[in-house]
Amino acid sequence: MSNDLITDPSKIERIKTYVKGLDENIQGGIPKGHVTLVHGSAGTMKSSLCFSILYNEAILNKKNSLYLSLEQSFESIVQNMVNMGFDLSKINMININDLSKFSAGLKKVSKIGGNFILVDIGAIRGQVKDVKTSENRSWLNVVKNIVLRTKKEANIELFTFDSLQALYTLSTFNNPRMELFNFFEFLKTQSITGYMISEEMGNGNNSMFDNEGFLSDAIIDLRLTPFRRNIVREIKVDKMRATKCNNDVFSLEFKNGAFYALYGGQNPLL
């Protein structure tokens, strides 16, 4: 590893968030290879933001990605993204919602890159009969195997996991800190940049978040904040290793097919 040590900060490769106004405030993007928590309550556009990063990387840099959804179905994700104006014909989208069709799905991988592999675990949950709910690591193993296969067949570089909380409801972890640590380390050994979606639970039970936060390289926090007789979407960077970042709270807007971070540190003039 020592041969790979970066000594010049400008040599740190970064992947944009594609949030205009935010990338400029985090030295251009999130360092490649980071595991980032994308944290927020329901409806804060966590899934949309991650989708947007993978989508843009597929189009602009021909990067291959895996989007693993534990809850939301393929149809629902696609419907949301099409409504937001993403043109899915610009990427090679491969949907896998049946484990027996995994190999067939991976045959559709384009050699020129830009592959967006969407695995909908919700649909395949029923097919994984050998996973005992009492076996803590089993679901994590299913996930790791999907990552390994897509890495091997499609050389995925980006990975969204949607969501950690859905995983926790499927499996109980004896030693969450260790198991999550191993999972994040596993992604690093595969040279994968990860976006872990972390749902803020309405019941105030966010005990797992402490572990997630400690172990991740970066935390992006998304919020819905009441402001006058309205709600503003907000985005802020809580943590980002190897990055000089502006931790202001920005308003988050999605318009004309792109995300914008606006009014850093100031209230919007609603």
Ligand X SMILES: Nc1ncnc2c1ncn2[C@@H]1O[C@H](COP(=O)(O)OP(=O)(O)O)[C@@H](O)[C@H]1O
Footprint of ligand X (CB under 6 A): 40, 42-48, 80, 83-84, 254
Query: CB 71 → ligand X: shortest distance, Å?
Result: 9
Nearer to ligand X, 104 or 231 (CB): 231
Nearer to ligand X, 183 or 259 (CB): 259
Query: CB 257 → ligand X: shortest distance, Å?
Result: 9
Nearer to ligand X, 127 or 169 (CB): 169
By CB under 5 A, tell whether 44 contacts Mg ion. Answer: no
Residues 6+ apart with CB under 8 A from 205: none
Beta bridge partners of 35: 194
Instruction: Report the C-alpha dihedral over residues 14, 19, 25, 27, rounded to 10 degrees.
Output: 10
Nearer to ligand X, 71 or 179 (CB): 71
Given 25, 27, 47, 198, the residue binding Mg ion (CB under 5 A)? 47
Q: Which of 226, 229, 198, 225 is nearest to 214 (CA)?
A: 198
Instruction: Locate 87 and state its tokens.
Output: 């043109």
By CB under 5 A, tell whether 160 contacts Mg ion. Answer: no
Note the Cα 42 to chain centre separation in Å. 15
Cα Rg of the chain, angstroms: 18
By CB under 5 A, tell whether 216 contacts Mg ion. Answer: no
CB 101 within 8 A of CB 149: no
Task: Identify what 40 binds: Mg ion, ligand X, none; CB under 5 to 8 Å per kind.
Answer: ligand X
By CB under 5 A, tell whether 165 contacts Mg ion. Answer: no
Instruction: Give the other-Cβ count within 10 Å of 171's Cβ.
Output: 21
Task: Identify what 84 binds: Mg ion, ligand X, none; CB under 5 to 8 Å per kind.
Answer: ligand X
Closest CB to Mg ion belongs to which residue? 47
Nearer to ligand X, 47 or 115 (CB): 47
Query: CB 11 → ligand X: shortest distance, Å?
Result: 33
Query: CB 237 → ligand X: shortest distance, Å?
Result: 17
Query: CB 51 → Mg ion: shortest distance, Å?
Result: 9
Residue recorded with tokens 């947007």? 52
Nearer to ligand X, 154 or 164 (CB): 164
User: Does residue 5 sit in helix, strand or coil?
Assistant: coil
Q: Which residues of 127-153 are buried (b: 16+ CB within 10 A; e: fewer)?
A: eeeebeeeebebbbebbbebbebbbeb
Sign for the CA dihedral angle at 245, 256, 117, 79 comes to: positive
Query: CB 84 → ligand X: shortest distance, Å?
Result: 4
The contact set with Mg ion (CB under 5 A) reads 47
